[in-house]
A and B are shown apart, each in its own frame.
Chain A
Amino acid sequence: MAEPPPRTDKGPWNWLLIVPIVLPLCTFLFNADEPRLMGFPLFYWLQLAFILVGVTCTVVVYRMTK
């Protein structure tokens, strides 16, 4: 069997994963009631929106490092 190619999990794309680790922890971005979205205070809808940011970043990194 042939030798496997040398591998590493380092790569510039991985730095993108910092975004969904740091962004949800910045309380000053979302600790407010206004503006509301469909009745949801900012605190709740923006944090739910960060889930989408997280998914986008992990999907991009997964695709680029595959």
Chain B
Amino acid sequence: MSGHTTELVVFIALFALVSGMGFVAARWRKPKDIESLDEWGLGGRNFGTWITWFLVGGDLYTAYTFVAVPALVFGAGALGFYAVPYTVVIYPLVFLVLTRLWSVSHVHGFVTPADFVRSRFGSPTLALVVAITGLVATMPYIALQLVGIEAVLQSMGVTGHWPIIVAFAILAAYTYQSGLRAPALIAFVKDTLIYIVILAAVIYIPIKLGGWGNIFDAAAAKFDKSPAPGDGTLLNVGNQLQYITLAFGSALALFLYPHSLTGVLAARNRTVIKRNMSALPAYSFLLGLIALLGYMAIAAGTKPVIGENGKPIGNTVVPVLFDNMFPDWFAGVAYAAIAIGALVPAAIMSIAAANLFTRNIYREYFNKNATDKQEATVSKLVSLVVKVGAVLCILLLDPQFSIDLQLIGGVIILQTLPSVALGLYTRWFHKGGLIAGWALGLAAGMWMLYTIPNPASGKLHFGGSAFSLGELGFDTKTTVYAGVLALAVNLLVAAVVTVALRAAKVADGVDGTRRDEYFADEGDPRVKDLDLAAPH
């Protein structure tokens, strides 16, 4: 551990400071009573533009993004830059789609996407399917946040799992106590630290490395020598379609995750969401620069930490680059920024997963007449269980496998798009068609992921998300993001089964929503403001 003492001291000091804030957060914007799901899980639904900006930003740009995206650029080049178009495409989509969800949720008091689906399609079964899909897809995402923290610790020479267990115990304790207020408050610190670190990195490191031109040339030289066919500082014939579908599919998947909705639903009104969607791309710019840290690492000759199995740990590229380039105290600040950046989304994700369980499984199937207080208690406990599950994922599984799980998670969550996102626009689909589409889309997605090998790690299956069209009998090297193809299967099946069920006159569920409810805004008497104690 010698040589990393300063880094460790700075890291621990900042981490402790932020944890203290998490516990104080319960008193922030003081609610009369935190013993309800709306208070604990949605922060009373009265967050304004600034808080929503930090909350949604903290949600979408996670520690994993800061570690894994540059690691992908380091390893594969241009393909890893898909994160930029992905985060450009997502905001107009959210702008259009989630404002509708905000309105209908505030009229009916929905907390989760499954709440909406249940009412829209009159089907508890479809709602259960959406809830379970969300839960399964979210858990590996939380685990991945730990991978980010782990990469930082490994770069400081800290091995073993106990530091992660400590970090997550702290996180679990303050989320239990303060609910959504904790990550909202911490996100301020996290973003400030990350902005400082990244601005320093993209100004200071290129100067040290002889300018951006040199950095790109060094990267191009590395990829020219590498035997792998898919890498390079530009896209090639084989991976252009993969780039497009990955960016578009990831954008569609991201706002279907229950935790993205949590941040959006906590906004005070539609204007807050729209204003945010105009301002959030500031993060995309940051993300683009972060991605380029991968090339800086190439130019600087950074060597990732070698793991216990003798293979290099790709995710340590950025932390090691910081260690080599920055003075020790600043590397400590950078590490703290990444680790705190992991805590914010992990807290929001576990709250969203807990809300899903409580609303759509506990209340639906176990306790129909649950009181507000019972719901909040169950949610708090489930958020603990979810976090323990995430820690176990890391302790019991190979971290590389948790990254693959996340990949599978994206393909899985995309299968709720017809019910949740299209459901906001049309009631045309039959509930039976949506369930059939979900099942077959999921099956198709799993099959495609199964066929994808990863030559780098020597795995034959579940080695990535780039599905080769050659598998379908086409004579081509073109690859496509498996999630988008699976979604196409889903939509096709949903449409065909809908037509068939309608022709057979099979009864459909009753729509519990009305058209004009999709446009209701703050001030409308139907829009419930359940947090009466909050200042406006």
Which A residues contact B (CB, under 8 angstroms)?
1, 4, 6-9, 14, 17-18, 20-21, 24-25, 27, 31-33, 36, 38-41, 43-44, 47-48, 50-51, 53-55, 57-59, 61-62, 65-66
Contact = CB atoms under 8 A, between A and B. Distances in A.
A41 B243 CA distance: 17
A44 B516 contact: no
Contacts of B248: 25
Contacts of B216: 39-41, 44
A31 B89 CA distance: 18
A50 B95 contact: no
Interface of A is mostly: helix
A51 B288 contact: yes
A66 B521 CA distance: 11
A27 B278 contact: no
Contacts of A47: 81, 84-85, 88, 288
User: In which size bucket is the chain B interface?
Assistant: 35 or more
Contacts of A62: 95, 274-275, 277-278
B169 to A, nearest CB: 38
B173 interface: no
Nearest to B283: A51
Interface stretch (B63-71, B233-241, B381-389): B233-241
A9 B519 contact: yes
Interface stretch (B127-135, B206-214, B408-416): B206-214
Contact of A43 (B78, B99, B213): B78
B98 to A, nearest CB: 11
Given A24-B247, A33-B233, A50-B88, A39 B95 contact: no
A66 B95 CA distance: 12
Contact of A25 (B81, B85, B96, B100): B85
Contacts of A25: 85, 89, 244, 247-248
A4 B524 contact: yes
A51 B284 contact: yes
Nearest to A27: B240
A27 B213 contact: no
B516 A9 contact: no
B281 A54 contact: yes
Contacts of A51: 84, 88, 281, 284-285, 288
A42 to B, nearest CB: 9
A38 B202 CA distance: 13
Given A39-B216, A48-B285, A24 B88 contact: yes
Nearest to A58: B278
A38 B212 contact: yes
B292 interface: yes
Contacts of B235: 27, 31, 43
27 contacts: A4-B524, A4-B526, A8-B519, A9-B518, A20-B89, A24-B89, A24-B247, A25-B244, A31-B234, A33-B233, A36-B213, A39-B212, A39-B213, A39-B214, A41-B216, A43-B81, A44-B288, A44-B292, A47-B88, A50-B84, A50-B88, A53-B88, A54-B281, A55-B278, A55-B281, A58-B95, A62-B274
Interface in B488-519: 516, 518-519
A61 B518 CA distance: 18
Interface string B194-231: 00000000000000000111111000000000000000
Contacts of B88: 20, 24, 47, 50-51, 53-54
Contacts of A27: 235, 240, 243-244
Contacts of A48: 84, 285, 288
Contacts of A61: 95
Nearest to A63: B278
A5 to B, nearest CB: 10
Nearest to B521: A7
